[in-house]
Structure 1
């Protein structure tokens, strides 16, 4: 049997599908993955023997602002059209489709599954896009909520209207082109009747509602057996545990300044540092030997050996750091990242930086909290509660659905 996993987004949208694809292949299924054509995505899927079916433009180019349409509706129309062109071909002969990633891309993939009559499941890697009376929705850029609207249910109604205004025309135009009727609520169409929440219930506890039947599988994490580079191992062995700094797929603002701010804040605590270059392209700031800059690293192996992890607050990095018992400092940039920062602070396993652009003083203050023995002890306790079976649970559930 063959299944298709479809996404469009950053590394955080692709990495969980690597874990699910690996588990599905262990169960004897053939797996196809539609994702952006970035070389690091191709490599990660290649590591587990799965070929990437490229869809759309480079996610890195879009994230860093290169060659993207001027407005969100224009970008959405492009993403949806790409899904119709690519996913339709890739889905032929598949028994099921798993859709995730940016909302318009997921909408396009689900429409293809609908046209082909393939069972589909919608998955999110954070709960902040799932309607709930317990918290407000995220506002889309350029679509702020009116200040007088404070009731959560009212805000979620406004959220649905904003999503229709941003993405409805593009989705329904493409649906009409393949003979499908229009949808009048794009958000609810994408979420479906029983969405999967692929997050850890300790880090991201879902409060049940009467409005939505959510299946929380646990986070999709693949055990990473890749060795750390010799130069990184040598640096780790040469002194006390360093502080890791990395912002993943976030381009960041003034990235050279961010590197300097991070190094100086860490030096203020007498610590060494490891900087991950990432999409922010963090670079050397001087010739001192108390830090190094590295490229692709095995976070699971590295985070067990660091004093703290400074990062942007992506779901995957947050979960890996928590699983590794590494205290965290989250400097959130966008989307769900403030949510993860708040959760880390609430759990007592790190600090939430209050601004997206830290100063030496503000980052040093956040590190002051993260580097305490109390935070380390709490992180160790929470690490024991983090599930490691999320991808296996999801694979078993999907296999059961398509075998029945």
Structure 2
């Protein structure tokens, strides 16, 4: 069995497919992956013996600035990515039995799979990306945010926005390939039987007419790497610090510094993850320490709380560690959704990034660090499953026979 995995995005988009690839290979499947050409992704895939088919520009370059590219630039990037996919995918898909596509940006994948006569499966990492009257669509950068409250209307407008961005390009290629035209690009990409690679306790799917969603659990791998020696020394030199990190994202101006100030004001030590934004928040104080890449699975059980942007991977890892969270979500993708889940499950607190202040962060930290919140976080952590990638790999192999 040959499987093609495809995504375009940051580390949070790539890592779940890495986990699936490892489980598929353990079951005897051959795997290759279409992903951005960033060096860290090529090294990551080489480390597990999976070939990378580079597609699109490096993502880290797009995320380098303090703000996202303009709406005009984002539209151009998206259109160029579609053209690149139609150019690259046919050779990448050749000889494969099934394609697993993750992310709305996988516009060409289903069409190329149709021409090749191979199966196509769409996967989402958060329920919020799938249309449902139970929630609004996620924020999509560069596209207008309608000021209406009804979720059904919002999803209809979302479909119109996706059509406006991708409809002409997609149907131009489909027409040239002899395929029928598509009148709803979003639902064409998602299909009516998508998979949801999210934990059913932390991010459950609610039944929605018209969608037959298979929720497998989140796709992750156990990380056995030890912590760097200097980090271990800092952790052992005092009480557990509060972690601050924003992953592949750049926080709103000043938010990182506010977090450090608020944490110190309550007498806690601070651990800052530089991330892709290369945060420089450390002064000469011995109560603050900065780190680069580290094993979060190992680390998060050793900190008092995790302050972060609301990425799916960070939220899940902190929750599994039983560690309280303070989420300052960017208005991007599933970040607000995971912030809402943390708040709804009483695992900590969620803030509005544009209005975040030292004072509001202080209040949020008091909530997160309370004995009651710590107890709830620890209890929920023990209920989260760790076999999502294994479940998905076995189901994929079984259904492809």
| Shorter-chain TM-score above 0.5 | yes
**In the alignment, is the contact (CA less than 8 A) between 1:6 and 1:87 conserved in 2?**
no
1:324 maps to what in 2? Answer: 321
Q: Against the structure 1 CA distance between its residues 321 and 397, is the aligned structure 2 distance closer, same or farther, given a 3 Å change threshold?
A: same
1:265-320 per-residue CA deviation (whole Å, 9 max, x = no partner) reads: 11112111111111121114411111111111111000011100010001111111
Distance across 1 between alignment mates of 2:176 and 2:251: 39
Alpha-carbon distance between aligned partners in 2 of 1:262 and 1:136, rounded to the nearest angstrom: 29
Against the structure 1 CA distance between its residues 146 and 35, is the aligned structure 2 distance closer, same or farther, given a 3 Å change threshold?
closer
The range that moved more, 301-310 or 171-180, is 171-180
User: Does the 8 Å CA contact 2:71/2:141 hold for their aligned counterparts?
Assistant: no
Q: Secondary structure at the match of 1:107?
A: coil
Measure, in 2, the Cα distance between the counterparts of 1:392 and 1:308. 29
- 1:108 matched to 2:108? The reply is yes
RMSD: 1.8
Distance in 2 (CA, whole Å) between partners of 1:250 and 1:27 is 35
- What is the CA distance between 1:261 and its match in structure 2? 1.8
After the TM superposition, which parts of structure 1 deviate over 4 Å for at least 4 consecutive aligned residues? Answer: 65-69
1:288 has 2:285 as partner: yes
Q: For the Cα contact (< 8 Å) 1:69–1:75, is it kept in 2?
A: no
Provide Cα deviations, 1:172-217, integer angstroms capped at 9, x if missing partner. Answer: 2233343333211001101112000110011111111222111101
Superposition deviation, residue 88 in structure 1? 1.7
- Alpha-carbon offset, residue 134 of structure 1: 1.6
| 8 Å CA contact 2:242, 2:271 repeated in 1 | yes
How many angstroms apart in 1 are the aligned matches of 2:51 and 2:237? 39
The question of whether the paired residues in 2 share the 8 Å contact of 1:259 and 1:285 is answered with no
Query: Residues 6 and 143 from structure 1, CA distance in 2 versus in 1: closer, same or farther, beyond 3 angstroms?
Result: closer
SS of the aligned residue for 1:150 comes to coil
Q: In terms of mean alpha carbon deviation, does 130-139 or 344-353 score higher?
A: 130-139
Gaps of 5+ in 2: none
1:29 CA displacement? 1.0
1:152 deviation in Å? 2.4
Match of 1:263 among 260, 276, 280: 260
Range moving further from structure 2, 191-200 or 110-119: 110-119
Partner of 2:367: 369
Q: What are structure 1's unaligned runs of at least 5 residues?
A: none
Q: State the secondary structure of the residue aligned to 2:383.
A: coil
Correspondence for 1:380: 378
Q: Distance in 2 between matches of 1:142 and 1:259?
A: 24
Q: Give the C-alpha shift of residue 354 in structure 1.
A: 2.2
Correspondent of 2:297 among 287, 295, 300: 300
SS state of the match for residue 93, structure 1? coil
Evaluate the alpha carbon distance shift between residue 51 and residue 141 of structure 1 in structure 2; reply closer, same or farther with a 3 A threshold: closer
Q: Which residue is 1:314 aligned to? A: 311
Which residue is 1:393 aligned to? 391
Q: Check the 8 A contact 2:70/2:142 in 1, yes or no.
A: no
Q: How far 1:139 moved relative to its partner?
A: 4.7
Distance change in 2, residues 1:268/1:135 (3 Å): same
With normalisation by structure 1, the TM-score equals: 0.94
